[in-house]
Amino acid sequence: MKLIIEKDYEGISKRAAKEISKVINNKEHSILGLATGSSPIGLYEQLIKLNEEKKVDFSKVTTINLDEYIGISNNHPQSYRYFMNNTLFNHINIDKNNTYVPNGNAEDMKAECIGYDKNIRDLGGIDVQLLGIGGNGHIAFNEPDEELVLGTHVTGLTESTIKANSRFFDSIDEVPKKAITMGLGEIMKAKSIILIASGEGKAEAIAKLFSGKITTKSPATLLAVHNDVTVIIDEQAASLLNK
């Protein structure tokens, strides 16, 4: 894994945007794997700026999102489809028909999961997958567990994730209890991976990521066996490394 330590969140966002832009500029029909949450917001702002400056062109790009809550509509302000439209897609020259987010309201969730993975294969696979990391080491909604699911699947959210995500809702009771998420096997098929993290709250998970050990109790540690991972973090997230 390649480790890049930036001074702060802005530095992370600019560096990650530069790396993703490089992929698009080298391959105009790029397939980008995208993430939601607070971590990538600054990165998306940088990509919008680069697009406005004509330094990156999204017109032929396809995007694949990691996950979506189950049971809230696409128009709900906390749905990940809404987040992606509001935070990135509405502000760049991308064809929204080429932006994919799992359907958290599908009548047949098993078919939705199978179809989502098939679509990724049919598109030729993900060129670069953007990831955040949870304080407990979760990737997308792949939570710490005895076993991890390889393909896209429906999963229950842990209490810690529900609590962490409650800041985006009016109350913790409004946070969905289930989500549809890409599995670790599908994520690991990406040609390259960029993981971003900032703040002391991510320091323990980052330390485990670089511990030289793999455990399903911290799903992100599986990234250690991928051959092209770049980890971009700030000094706070790096504070427990080499300790």
pLDDT band at 165 (very low <50, low <70, confident <90, very high): confident
- The confidence score (pLDDT) of residue 234 equals 98
Domain ranges of the chain: 2-38+52-125+134-233
Confidence of residue 243 (pLDDT cuts 50, 70, 90): low
Segment 110-119, tens digit of pLDDT: 999 999 999 9
List the beta strands (DSSP E) in 83-224: 99-100, 128-131, 153-156, 178-181, 192-197
Cα angle 124, 128, 129 (rounded to 5 degrees) comes to: 105
The band of 103, judged by pLDDT with boundaries at 50, 70 and 90, is very high
Beta bridge partners of 231: 3, 195
Distance CA 162, CA 240 (A): 25
Helical axes 41-52 vs 9-26, angle rounded to 10°: 50
Q: With bands split at pLDDT 50, 70 and 90, how would you rate the model's confidence at 225?
A: very high
Backbone angles phi, psi at 106, to 5 degrees: -65, 140
Q: What confidence tens digit (pLDDT) does each residue in 45-89 have?
A: 999 999 999 999 999 999 999 999 999 999 999 999 999 999 999
Confidence at residue 242, expressed as pLDDT on a 0 to 100 scale: 82
Distance CA 111, CA 124 (A): 20
Residue 21 phi, psi dihedral angles, 5° rounding: -60, -35
CA trace torsion 18, 74, 119, 44 (10° rounding): 0
- Report strand pairing: 67-69 vs 2-6: unpaired
pLDDT score for 240: 96
Q: What is the CATH number of domain 2-38+52-125+134-233?
A: 3.40.50.1360
- Looking at every residue in the chain, the average pLDDT score rounds to 96
- By annotation, the residues acting in catalysis are 67, 136, 138, 143
